[in-house]
Amino acid sequence: MTLPSRLVKSFKFCSIINPNFLKLGDTFKQTRVFSMPHLLDYSKVSLDFNPLHFDADCALTAGFQHPIVHGMLLASLFPRIISSHFPGAVYLSQNLQFKQPVYIGEEICGEVEAISMRDFKKKHLVKFSTRCFKQDSLLVLDGEAMAILPTLQLE
């Protein structure tokens, strides 16, 4: 029997044998507070010394209350979250939409959610929804990432 495609899309992968396997809808979170030393270290590695991140007057002129955290530094939460649960994961792609500024010292919650997966060369290709929040529910960063996972077993 062939199921209509609208029904197939709503099915979620799950393992009855071992519930410690990744399934669609699984969400993983980590929080982080970025400090000025983090921004300085990131700038040294990336060579991104945009004054928006260090100069209060420049940030104010651009419409921000204070210097802002680098967007790519925020996005670095996503591969960290994924690889902490799936060591050896290979990050393939990421798209990002920056929604709100993040200022030094604000607690940020990074979140990834498995939204699709398929077998890929004896591994697993997984698409994740990626989001960052501040103040518990204010969306500051939204996107999607693709990663190859060596296993679906959670660590």
What are the tens digits of pLDDT across the range 14-52?
Answer: 444 456 899 999 999 999 999 999 999 999 999 999 999
Determine the pLDDT at residue 6.
38
Residue 155 CA to residue 84 CA, distance in Å, equals 7
Q: What is the pLDDT of residue 85?
A: 95
Provide the H-helix boundaries in 22-154. 36-46, 56-61, 71-75, 77-85
Could you give the domains of the chain?
A: 21-35+69-149 (3.10.129.10)
Q: Are 130 and 94 in contact (CB under 8 A)?
A: yes
Find the radius of gyration of the CA atoms of the chain.
18
User: pLDDT of 52-63, one tens digit each?
Assistant: 999 999 999 999
18 by DSSP, 3-state: which?
Answer: coil
What pLDDT was estimated at residue 44?
A: 97
State the pLDDT at residue 59. 96
d(CA 3, CA 88): 35
The string of pLDDT tens digits covering residues 66-91 is: 999 999 999 999 999 999 999 999 99
pLDDT at 72: 96
**Per residue in 137-151, pLDDT tens?**
999 999 999 999 999
Given a cut of 70, is residue 10 above it in pLDDT? Answer: no
Q: Please report the beta strands in the chain, taking only residues with DSSP state E, as ranges in sequence order.
A: 27-33, 90-98, 107-120, 123-134, 138-149
Q: In this prediction, what percent of the chain has a pLDDT beyond 90?
A: 84
Enter the pTM of the model: 0.83
Q: Name residue, tokens 């200022």.
A: 103
Per-residue pLDDT at 9: 34
Mean pLDDT of 89-94: 96
